[in-house]
Amino acid sequence: SDVCSSDLKELSVILQTYSVTLRLVLKMIEWNGEHSVGISVIDEKHKEFIDIINKVIVAKQHDNNPEKIEEVLREIIDYAWNHFRDEESYMVEFCYPEYQYHKEEHLDFVHRANSYFKIVTSGNYQILNEILEYLKRWLVNHIQGTDQKYVECFRKNGLK
């Protein structure tokens, strides 16, 4: 496997962090006003992103078929990649000053999601709940924090 030891170490920290959550049933993300950046073209993408993560959660709870789950996990990575690329094109077009930092956060997500995906496909299926919990938290934090910062710039440039 090409999953590096730092990824595994990090995962064990995440496992400890979420040890309380582990005893609870993994909940889907419910879209609400707090997730909105107030720009509809972006909100639509974020809603779809959340839908895909929810799809994996449903697949895990109701179907529990590893092949199906791997397929939807792959969808998360593909969707994230496309959404990040679109957002970054706006940043470049509008000369957004925090482009570099934002792009690095996107890359970090794709890198981690890929590593976690490999851990699951290598047969370590039990940790899927923790991974999903991590992906959920990352997405919500990113939308409510880092994405919010570009709103003024995007709006000034005519995005609605």
Region binding ligand FEO by CB under 6 A among candidate stretches 27-35, 62-70, 112-120, 141-149: 141-149
> How many CA atoms does the CB half-sphere of 146 hold within 13 Å?
19
Q: Which residue has the tokens 């919500």?
A: 140
**Binding status of residue 135 toward ligand FEO by CB under 6 A:** no
Residues 82-101 that bind ligand FEO (CB under 6 A): 83-84, 87
**Binding status of residue 142 toward ligand FEO by CB under 6 A:** yes
Beta carbon of residue 22, minimum distance to ligand FEO (angstroms, whole number): 27
Residues 105-134 that bind ligand FEO (CB under 6 A): 106
* Residue 95: strand, helix, or coil: coil
Measured distance CA(61)–CA(73) in Å, rounded: 14
Beta carbon of residue 46, minimum distance to ligand FEO (angstroms, whole number): 6
Measured distance CA(40)–CA(43) in Å, rounded: 5
Q: Chain centroid to CA 36: how far?
A: 16
Beta carbon of residue 20, minimum distance to ligand FEO (angstroms, whole number): 28
**Binding status of residue 60 toward ligand FEO by CB under 6 A:** no
Nearer to ligand FEO, 60 or 102 (CB): 102
Closest CA to 116 of 7, 28, 14: 7
Cβ neighbors of 21 (< 8 A, separation 6 or more) are 130, 133
Nearer to ligand FEO, 125 or 138 (CB): 138
Q: Point out the residue whose Cβ comes nearest to ligand FEO.
A: 147
Residue 142, φ and ψ in degrees, nearest 5:
-65, -45
Question: Residues interacting with ligand FEO, by CB under 6 A?
Answer: 46, 83-84, 87, 102, 106, 142-143, 146-147
